[in-house]
Amino acid sequence: MSKLVTIIGGSGFVGRYVARRMAKDGWRVRVAVRNPNEALFVKPYGAVGQVEPVFCNIRDDASVAAVVDGADAVVNCVGILAEVRKNTFDAIQAEGAGRVARIAAEAGVAKLVHISAIGADAESDSEYAKTKAEGEAAILAAFPSAVILRPSIVFGTEDEFFNRFAGMTRFSPVLPVVGGNTKFQPVWVDDVAQAAVAAVDGDAAGVYELGGPDVATFSELMQTMLKVIHRRRMIVNIPFGVANIIAGVSGAVQTLSLGIVPAQITKDQVINLRSDNVVAEGAKGFADLGIVPTDLEAVLPSYLWRFRPSGQYDAIKDSAKNLKHG
């Protein structure tokens, strides 16, 4: 019988790519999520019955134990960018990650891979970065042979980064950014998934920092995006002090609306945007896993074309212009 992998958060942005690659590799895939009915789209990733969504609440011991039972490998893809009610940074990224590792070790799971983030730092003023580091420490304490993958900002068809800003260009002549000079090393989601599979299948151990071939500032990334979507917009760098005020107002609106109106930016995100998000010098990375990361501009047009003024027809209009001038 083929081996079984449990992917916790397997229907999320990164998780679905890990699930697809694991299925392609012949694994039986258990996609553990809070809402299995909303994760039915993962089933066609494999043969009939090969990929199954199941319920899991990472905050509950019994729930995690049930989905880990019988698994040869576990990949934890759960993480949050903002806190919502009981899903706090501490509950999900610190306690939740530690719970997965402890229960996986008790169940005799052979391999554990955890998706963390570049910038994980126990001394950080950011709760996001601090709890990422606390989660890593809890994992390695309970499961010393675990592999921890720390990607920079992840891009791909379903991302909430380029899609969000490209969407803003439809309605505004201005593109506001916080931390315009902060550096990122964007990494393609499928490369992160490939790294997770390599970590499960190979003899990897320890922490790997995953960054793509391009290092660019936030503003430069926005310029690249604008070039891809054929639009001109003014990129305005919002000072951190002003961003904190906006975050405070945005947070108050979210609280008063009982979460119906989500915060546009949080104070914790403003703290994170003060620091560069690139692979540390000397860190293990893609090369150590035998992977060549994909170039940003090779992927962006494949999903941002829909934000072009004429969508899929922009290329046809461009070639028509060339005919006129020919």
> Is 150 a member of any domain?
yes
Q: What is the CA radius of gyration of the chain?
A: 21
pLDDT at site 252: 87
Report pTM: 0.91
Q: Which of 76-90, 140-154, 220-234 has the lowest mean pLDDT?
A: 76-90
How many CA atoms, within 13 angstroms, populate the side-chain half-sphere of residue 142? 26
Tell me how far apart the alpha carbons of residues 293 and 180 are, in angstroms, rounded to a whole number.
24
> Is 127 a member of any domain?
yes
Is residue 98's pLDDT more than 70? yes
Q: Which two tokens stand for residue 110?
A: 């052979």
> Is 133 a member of any domain?
yes
Contacts with 46 (C-beta within 8 Å, 6 or more apart), sequence order? 23, 24, 28, 29
Residue 39: domain span: 4-155+186-211+277-293
Contacts with 123 (C-beta within 8 Å, 6 or more apart), sequence order? 130
Q: Which residue has the higher pLDDT, 243 or 88?
A: 243
Continuous H helices in the chain: 13-24, 61-68, 89, 97-106, 127-142, 162-168, 189-201, 218-228, 240-256, 267-272, 296-304, 314-325
pLDDT at site 91: 84
> Is 312 a member of any domain?
no
Q: Are 231 and 162 contacting, i.e. CB atoms less than 8 angstroms apart?
A: no
Q: How many CB atoms lie within 10 A of CB 43?
A: 18
Check which CATH number belongs to the domain holding 60 and give it.
3.40.50.720
> Is 200 a member of any domain?
yes
Dihedral sign from CA coordinates of 257, 261, 264, 267 = positive
Pick the closest to residue 51 from 81, 92, 21, 89 (CA basis). Answer: 21
pLDDT at site 323: 60
How many CA atoms, within 13 angstroms, populate the side-chain half-sphere of residue 296? 23
pLDDT at site 322: 61
> Is 37 a member of any domain?
yes
> Is 82 a member of any domain?
yes
Tell me how far apart the alpha carbons of residues 55 and 184 are, in angstroms, rounded to a whole number.
34
222 DSSP β-pair partners: none
Helix (H) or strand (E) holding 35: none
> Is 96 a member of any domain?
yes
Pick the closest to residue 126 from 160, 154, 90, 86 (CA basis). Answer: 90
Residue 53, Cα to own-chain centre: how many angstroms? 20
Q: How many CB atoms lie within 10 A of CB 121?
A: 13
pLDDT of 47-84, one tens digit each?
A: 999 999 999 998 999 999 999 999 999 999 988 777 77
Query: For the chain, how many structural domains are there in total?
Result: 1
Pick the closest to residue 116 from 57, 75, 56, 157 (CA basis). Answer: 75
